[in-house]
Amino acid sequence: MATKALDNFQSEVRAWLDDNCPESIRGPGDVPGGGKKVPIKDPDARHWLDLGAEKGYTVPMWPEEYGGAALGKDEYLVLLEEMRRIKARSPLQGMGIGLIGPTLMEFGTDDQKLRHLPRIAGGEIRWCQGYSEPNAGSDLASLQTRAVADGDNFIVNGQKIWTSGANHSDWMFCLVRTDPDVPKHDGISLLLLGMDQPGITTRPIRLISGDSPFCETFFDNALARKDDLVGQLNRGWGIGKRLLQHERSGMTILMGGAAKPVSTENPFLKLIKAYGADDALIDQVISHQMRDRAYRLTQRRTVAESEDGQTPGPQTSIMELVTAELEKEDANIKTLLRGFRGLGWEGDGFTDDEIAATRHYFSVKRRSIARGSNEVQRNIIAKRVLGLPD
């Protein structure tokens, strides 16, 4: 885009944000995940989502007919910059805009795009990911959940596990076995199915941190429409892997409208002031913050260097691995800074913040397993990025 046009766009966006972004949305805080089952209690967040959806800024680069603003890459980077300037949070986040949306854009039929994408962009539908099973995690292609064609539908039977947010979701994208008699990668299909039907039950799994972020999901003659098969029958493995690249790229947050705003106060400085720290610990803080900053800049460079904002291929595993390590390192250093006060689990001897931080320290361990374990990411980097032999 010519510089003049881009300058005009920047002025327009700046004025729009200044006029419309509520004060309470400027700074760290929650970002709604959309859907029918989790009401947005904060009226400002509701208003910001409605405005964002109307303007196409929940999915800025999607075409207008699917609820986006049809921004080019340059304009999109300007929008990110302007949102960052006022520390505006994204109006919406979730697996709809980050995972299944971009996948449908690449592989969906026109009908699927028209039925699903605008509802994703508007935050009307929350999605969950039905991939892992009790005997199929890293070796995902061993999945056994069966889908059998029956008239206009598929009938689905089996079980998924670790399904994040399944109990709060309206729809699921699900890898199923549609041909058990061929090599395992060749008999898998990707289906979309509504969660509100008698054939689907979810059971939340409770973690040591006290959270319950994911569920077991059971299918007992659940129905998926045949026109909700994504891509060709038995060709779901390649599409399912592409969806994981969208997930692992870390561009999900960016595609939601803006990178997570940086807190006005350096959280490490706050802890150093409160608890004190020796030079060695301060060195750790500085190295970590430099790595974190470098990662964020790399993430932005990925968008800048991509073709029309397209998600890269297997290189996304590098991003996933680095993010997982950074998030754990962040929690670890904060625990070290708190000293023994970083070990509080419950009771009056610790503040609410300290207790929450201990739970976060445990909870963040999941990052090296979720979205594919660190070992699996390293395997992908070795084989598909570096071209090392099997």
Ligand X SMILES: Cc1cc2nc3c(=O)[nH]c(=O)nc-3n(C[C@H](O)[C@H](O)[C@H](O)COP(=O)(O)OP(=O)(O)OC[C@H]3O[C@@H](n4cnc5c(N)ncnc54)[C@H](O)[C@@H]3O)c2cc1C
Q: Which stretch binds ligand X (CB under 6 A): 1-9, 103-111, 243-251, 362-370?
A: 362-370
Q: Which of 75, 82, 133, 247 is catalytic?
A: 247
The residue type of 347 is: G
Residue 164 in contact with ligand X, rule: CB under 6 A = yes
Instruction: Check binding of 379 to ligand X (CB under 6 A).
Output: yes
Does residue 129 bind ligand X (CB under 6 A)? yes
99: nearest Cα among 118, 140, 121, 127: 127
Residue 246 is a binding residue for ligand X (CB under 6 A): no
CB of 133 to ligand X, least distance (A): 8
Q: How far is the CB of 104 from ligand X (least distance, A)?
A: 18
| Contact residue for ligand X among 163, 249, 317, 323 (CB under 6 A) | 163
Nearest Cα residue to 196 out of 168, 229, 162: 168
Interface with ligand X: number of residues (CB under 6 A)? 20
138 binds ligand X (CB under 6 A): yes
What is the Cα–Cα distance from 166 to 28, expressed in whole angstroms? 26
Residue with Cβ nearer ligand X (81 or 327): 327
Cα–Cα distance, 288 to 279 (Å, whole number): 14
Question: Which residue, chain included where needed, has tokens 């045949």?
Answer: 226
Contact pick of 131, 219, 350, 361 for ligand X (by CB under 6 A): 131
Asked if 307 is an active-site residue, the reply is no
CA distances (Å), 384 to each of 61, 336, 350, 377, in order? 28, 37, 47, 10
Options 66-74, 129-137, 187-195, 219-227: segment touching ligand X (CB under 6 A): 129-137
370, 382, 383, 385: which one contacts ligand X (CB under 6 A)? Answer: 370
Q: Which residue number places its CB atom closest to ligand X? A: 137
- Pick out residues in 324-353 that bind ligand X (CB under 6 A): none
- Binding of ligand X by 209 (CB under 6 A): no
Q: What angle do CA 259, 311, 232 make, to 5 degrees?
A: 130
Which stretch in 63-71, 124-132, 263-271, 329-337 sits in contact with ligand X by CB under 6 A?
124-132
Please state the closest distance from residue 270 (CB atom) to ligand X, in A: 27
What is the rounded distance in angstroms from the CA atom of residue 170 to the CA atom of residue 190?
17
Quick one: which segment of 105-113, 180-188, 270-278, 364-372 binds ligand X (CB under 6 A)? Answer: 364-372
- Residue 231 or residue 372: which is nearer to ligand X going by CB? 372
User: Which residues does 93 contact at the CB level (< 8 Å), separation at least 6?
Assistant: 31, 32, 33, 252, 253, 256
323 contacts ligand X (rule: CB under 6 A)? no
| Residue 167, token pair as written in the block | 């109990």
369 binds ligand X (CB under 6 A): yes
The answer to whether the CB of 171 falls within 8 A of the CB of 127 is yes
Between 172 and 229, name the residue whose CB sits nearer to ligand X. 172
How many CB atoms sit inside 10 A of residue 301's CB? 10
When the beta carbons of 159 and 373 are compared against ligand X, the nearer one is 373
Alpha helix (H) ranges present in 172-278?
236-248, 251-255, 267-275
Closest separation in Å from C-beta 389 to ligand X:
15
Report CA-CA distances (Å) from 267 to 285, 326, 369: 10, 15, 26
Site string for ligand X, 40-59 (x = CB under 6 A): --------------------
Residue 256 in tokens: 């939601």
* Distant-in-sequence, close-in-space partners of 224: CB < 8 Å, separation ≥ 6: 147, 153, 154, 156, 174, 191, 192, 193
Give SS3 for 170.
coil
Which residues are designated catalytic?
247
Contact positions vs ligand X (CB under 6 A): 128-132, 137-138, 162-164, 213-214, 366, 369-370, 372-373, 375-376, 379
